[in-house]
Amino acid sequence: MSDTRSGFVTFVGRPNVGKSTLTNALVGEKVAITSDKPQTTRRAIRGIVNRPGGQLVVVDTPGIHRPRTLLGQRLNDLVEQVLGDVDVIAFCAPATEKVGPGDRRIAESLSGYPRAKKIALVTKTDAATREQITERLIEVDALREDWAAVIPLSAVTRDQLDVLSDELLALMPEGPALYPDDVVTDESLEDRIAEIIREAALDGVRDELPHSIAVTIEDVAPREDSDLTDVFANIVVERDSQKAIIIGHKGSRLASVGARARQGIEPLVGGRVYLSLHVRVAKEWQRDPKQLGRLGF
């Protein structure tokens, strides 16, 4: 028998309960972008956590929501697929907000995945009072009778993260590590760069625009006889009016998006980056199966 354990865990909950922040905190490195915009996460991103007793593969997924577009439906389908494959599902509810109908609906839906063990997490305890945390623990505990554990924690202050890791590992099947111990994610460099650019583009935009932004990478190449890496990328939006917002007055907003994105890309490529960003319009791409396919959804 193996004395190590390894397996897959995913966090579920309404959009914005802190799933991506928690993924990054557990991995110890930024593998998933974060934003205060709902449905920021658009793919199943795997982060690898190595512990003395084994390995956890954290699958960060989009928040479960009522879809209004074909993209939204595909994101929900992706969550369904991940939930059917993982060993542990961790339901997240923020300590700062009362448990509501959306939380109850998601918690009830977990019965559709009998293979996975379930735990409940009360997140964002750093932003809550002791009374709020106690109240939330009682509310969350009552959502299901089969929680293997209910854990309050903060990804920001790292409070109780070790408790969570140990609890998750104990619930995993016995077996060897699934990834080499120097790997933090199986995302490609191009995908990680695209996400960093999208995160920078999301900052400060409002209304429907966050949902309309996608990023494609044309090329990532080290420049000959230089320590520079050239990155050519497109920011894709759905309408000309959105293109104007992203570019900003005399290109000012696009320049700040580029500067912010470069800060995140340079540590990834291990040197200075020349980032060329172009904004292009793909009309109503969230509703168009062909466009979605081209953009990787």
Report whether 60 belongs to an annotated binding site: yes
Report whether 15 belongs to an annotated binding site: yes
Nearest-angstrom CA–CA distance, 8 and 1: 20
Burial class (CB in 10 A: 0-12, 13-18, 19+), 111: exposed
Report whether 14 belongs to an annotated binding site: yes
Report whether 64 belongs to an annotated binding site: yes
Q: At 75, is the secondary structure helix, strand, or coil?
A: helix
Q: For residue 33, what are the contacts with CB-CB under 8 A and spacing of at least 6?
A: 20, 40, 41, 195, 196, 198, 199
Report whether 124 belongs to an annotated binding site: yes
Provide the residue count of the chain: 297
Report whether 28 belongs to an annotated binding site: no
Report whether 18 belongs to an annotated binding site: yes
Segment (H or E) for 272 = none
Report whether 20 belongs to an annotated binding site: yes
Six-digit token string for 261: 């994105």
Report whether 251 belongs to an annotated binding site: no
Report whether 243 belongs to an annotated binding site: no
- Strand order in 45-51's β-sheet? 45-51, 54-60, 5-12, 88-94, 117-123, 150-152
Nearest-angstrom CA–CA distance, 187 and 47: 9
Report whether 181 belongs to an annotated binding site: no
Q: For residue 220, what are the contacts with CB-CB under 8 A and spacing of at least 6?
A: 189, 190, 193, 229, 230, 231, 232, 269
Amino acid making up residue 124:
K
Six-digit token string for 182: 């120097």
Report whether 66 belongs to an annotated binding site: no
39-45, long-range: CB within 8 Å, 24+ apart, which pairs?
39/15, 39/63, 39/65, 39/72, 39/75, 39/210, 39/211, 40/15, 40/199, 40/202, 40/210, 42/71, 42/75, 42/297, 43/78, 43/191, 43/296, 44/78, 44/81, 44/82, 45/185, 45/187
Report whether 185 belongs to an annotated binding site: no
Annotated binding site: 13-20, 60-64, 123-126
Feature table: binding site for GTP: 13-20, 60-64, 123-126
